[in-house]
Structure 1
Amino acid sequence: MTSIPTFGVEEEFLLVDERGRLSDRGPDIVEAADRPEGEVQRELARSQVELATSVCHDAGELLDQLTRFRARLAAEAGGKRLRLVATGTPVLTEDRPPEITPTPRYRRMGEHFGMLARTGTTCGCHVHVRIPDRGTGVRASNHVRPWLPVLLALTANSPFDSGDDTRYSSWRHVLWSRWPSAGPPPLFASLDEYESRVAAMLESGAMLDRGMLYWDIRLSDKQPTLEFRISDVAASAREATTLAVLARALVVTALSELDHPPPPIPGEVLRANLWRAARDGLDGAVPHPATGRLTPVPSLLGQLVDHVRGPLTDAGDLDFVTGSLAWISEHGNGAQRQRRTYDRTGSLTGVVDLLSLH
């Protein structure tokens, strides 16, 4: 593996009709939009569509793919008088829960988990960063996990759900945390311990297969990557790229720190910190990864950049990240822009318009 690992992104979107209500035609969009470059996939709910980039080497390549893939999916949806919406939760009230996509795996999930699988439709952004091997990936996860609340606060993009202001910045995170296999990953002494935890959850029925391991960071079973699953789907391709670049830099920094013990943050404390980040988002404060003292998120973002400055500089990503963070500071992250749009228009349909891809 080179010193600057490759990476890629998966994004989940909601599919809505002209009124902004969820549409069950996600499988139609997947079939129509399938192309050799990248990948378009079905999701648990028929009202969702997922895109996955190919392996990327730098921020420019990733941003280009995300921009083009989003435009392609938006065009396919528009041709069917539908829209793709980049938000973590449905904005408008729905008459009934969305239908589950009728594949054998998703049907089994629906039967096994009941209303948990049928309520709380959410859309996230997943970043894959290449790792040398699975054992090293587990050790890197131990070092990266304290920064998860900062990443969540930065990318929060789901303040509204089913017609209500939830008073959270990332309501998606709260809903997703209901799954028994979700949440922050534990500290692991070894890959064997990681695998024993996974086996125990499979045995309990909390997971039906390894694909249902929903930790906020996990080893990918399909690719040689460490997968970040902490974030809401980003409102823009640039914000998704910013997340991916920061995630990659965190992994590279972690790989350089493996001779030192990771911060010993207990799982229940990290879960509490993530709850606070989900509630307050970019406007709030979360405990510092090293000291535990409440620190404003904008200040922590500056310290995060300093923490990973070496890998950002080596990859040529520093100017991109600092420019993106400056833009977010001026214009707000997804959750802030959603609320400002609602305050300005007095309409949740205006929020849907803001989030619709073009």
Structure 2
Amino acid sequence: MSRTFGIEEEFFLFDAHTYSLAPLNPEESTQLLELNAQVHPGNVQTEFLAAQIEIATAVFQDAELAVEQLRATRQLLQARCQQIGVFPAALGTPPALPAQPARITDARRYDLVQQLVPGLAAEHYLSGMHIHIGIPDLQSGVHALNGLRPWLPALIAMSSNSPFWRGQDTGFASWRTIQYRRWSINGIPPHFPDAASYRSHQQLLLGSESLLDAGHIGWSARLSEKFPTIEIRASDVQMTSGEAVALAVLVRAVVDTVLDHPPVPPTASSEALQLALWQAARSGLRGKLLEASTGENVPAMDHVGTLLDYASGALRANGDESRVQAAVAKWQENGTGTQRQRSAWLSGGDKAVLDLAREHFGQ
């Protein structure tokens, strides 16, 4: 039986006429949340910004079913948004930003975040995708976390979908990744010998009084505090449901592979992995990545090929090999979301980027 997975996706909301970010009022939020009666056992929920909405899927084992349900939920959300004069867009950052600080959703936790880091909260225009992979226990989760560390930069490169910020091309494939690194705890997690050391390190961080709670630890992968899962937070939100699920089942295959082998030794330094993460955010699949275990600087697509070889047995066993290979071939030929956004930008600026995202949202 295949290991379970689930996906959380954050989307920006734009005014259907002006194409500006559209913070929801409480009545509009309520109208979108009424979709929960139709999308159960997944759900729709508000996010940090009032101009964002989130989809959390059901728990899946089958990739095709996940694509079907995620696509259906996106289409329901798109139709309901149309009724209130907005549209959702799956972009890691908006192509243009308002001059005023972001309006934060009215919720106790978000109020506390704003009080803790007002300057960061004021421009947290970031939308990601979180992948949850089921794990049997805490020790297995730590083992999986260690094994995922060297592959997180490749995941960022494949999922890059945020080149623009404040109406300009940043020169980065995933500017969301760079912006998110400003928070107190972020990037590649440390290597942990065992579950006890994970918990001990977590308590050390919480004792700094620089975090609200364990949920504020923003590593690119961490153990969920709510579910028996490892939570991979590296990816920009994806333009299409098919791309989102392809990334999710690739991560599942990596976790499967790690857990089928002995504990992973810390062969790569954290600093080298952080540099590879920065490279991935800078150039996506069009540049090079430092393979931290070998010290070689290789083309990103070669590194992705190494990743696919590593996870190939689990991909075949789960029936996901052709799906993932097709997604990687698409990114290589047509570019990730970043390249597609840039092509649209050249043809018509930020409006063309939003039209592109609007067109692909329900796919």
Determine if the TM-score, normalized by the shorter chain, exceeds 0.5: yes
1:94 equivalent to 2:98? Answer yes
Number of residue pairs the alignment of both structures matches:
354
Secondary structure (helix, strand or coil) at the match of 2:227 reads: coil
CA contact (8 A) 1:181 1:206 kept: no
Q: Check 1:219–1:207 CA distance in 2 against 1; reply closer, same or farther (3 A cut).
A: same
CA contact (8 A) 2:272 2:292 kept: no
Q: Check 1:187–1:352 CA distance in 2 against 1; reply closer, same or farther (3 A cut).
A: same
TM-score normalised by L of structure 2 = 0.94
1:318 to 321, 327, 334: 321
1:11 to 6, 9, 12: 9
- The share of aligned pairs that are identical, in percent, is 38
Query: Deviation at 1:27?
Result: 2.9
Counterpart of 1:298? 301
Distance 1:225 1:49 in 2: 23
Counterpart of 1:22? 21
Counterpart of 1:352? 354
CA contact (8 A) 1:15 1:83 kept: yes
1:34 equivalent to 2:36? Answer yes
Query: Deviation at 1:245?
Result: 0.9
What one-letter code is carried by the residue in structure 2 that aligns with 1:212? H
Counterpart of 1:307? 310
Select between 224-233 and 38-47 the one with higher mean Cα deviation: 38-47
CA contact (8 A) 2:102 2:121 kept: no
Query: Deviation at 1:302?
Result: 1.8
Query: Deviation at 1:258?
Result: 2.3
Distance 1:263 1:303 in 2: 18
Query: Deviation at 1:31?
Result: 2.2
2:257 to 253, 256, 262: 253
Query: RMSD across aligned C-alpha pairs, in angstroms?
Result: 1.4
1:209 equivalent to 2:213? Answer yes
What one-letter code is carried by the residue in structure 2 that aligns with 1:208? L
TM-score normalised by L of structure 1 = 0.95
1:109 to 99, 107, 113: 113
CA contact (8 A) 2:57 2:70 kept: yes
Distance 1:324 1:279 in 2: 21
Select between 319-328 and 31-40 the one with higher mean Cα deviation: 31-40
CA contact (8 A) 1:153 1:297 kept: yes
CA contact (8 A) 1:29 1:49 kept: no
Distance 1:198 1:215 in 2: 12
What one-letter code is carried by the residue in structure 1 that aligns with 2:187? G
The C-alpha deviation readout for 1:111-158, integer Å capped at 9, x for no partner, is 111111121310001100111101111011111110111110000000
Distance 2:19 2:298 in 1: 37
Secondary structure (helix, strand or coil) at the match of 2:285 reads: helix
Select between 284-293 and 188-197 the one with higher mean Cα deviation: 284-293
What one-letter code is carried by the residue in structure 1 that aligns with 2:354? V
1:43 equivalent to 2:36? Answer no
Secondary structure (helix, strand or coil) at the match of 1:46 reads: coil
Distance 1:29 1:311 in 2: 41
Distance 1:16 1:29 in 2: 16
Query: Deviation at 1:29?
Result: 5.2
Distance 1:57 1:270 in 2: 30
Query: Deviation at 1:310?
Result: 0.5
Distance 1:61 1:206 in 2: 41
Distance 1:341 1:286 in 2: 27
Distance 2:70 2:197 in 1: 36
Counterpart of 1:194? 198
What one-letter code is carried by the residue in structure 1 that aligns with 2:324? V
Q: Check 1:206–1:264 CA distance in 2 against 1; reply closer, same or farther (3 A cut).
A: farther
Secondary structure (helix, strand or coil) at the match of 2:196 reads: helix
CA contact (8 A) 1:9 1:126 kept: yes
Q: Check 1:121–1:244 CA distance in 2 against 1; reply closer, same or farther (3 A cut).
A: same
Q: Check 1:289–1:312 CA distance in 2 against 1; reply closer, same or farther (3 A cut).
A: farther
Could you tell me which runs of 5 or more consecutive residues in structure 1 were left unpaired when the two chains were aligned.
Answer: none
1:118 equivalent to 2:122? Answer yes
Distance 2:147 2:167 in 1: 38
CA contact (8 A) 1:20 1:92 kept: no
CA contact (8 A) 1:140 1:258 kept: no
CA contact (8 A) 1:93 1:162 kept: yes
Distance 2:343 2:265 in 1: 39
Query: Deviation at 1:295?
Result: 1.2
Query: Deviation at 1:282?
Result: 1.2
Secondary structure (helix, strand or coil) at the match of 1:127 reads: strand
Could you tell me which runs of 5 or more consecutive residues in structure 2 were left unpaired when the two chains were aligned.
Answer: none
Query: Deviation at 1:264?
Result: 2.4
Mapping for residues 158-307 of structure 1, pairs under 5 Å: 158-259=162-263, 261-307=264-310
CA contact (8 A) 1:29 1:73 kept: no
Distance 2:262 2:183 in 1: 31
The C-alpha deviation readout for 1:25-46, integer Å capped at 9, x for no partner, is 1734542322323011111111
Mapping for residues 329-340 of structure 1, pairs under 5 Å: 329-340=332-343
Distance 1:309 1:115 in 2: 44
Distance 1:28 1:262 in 2: 49
Counterpart of 1:141? 145
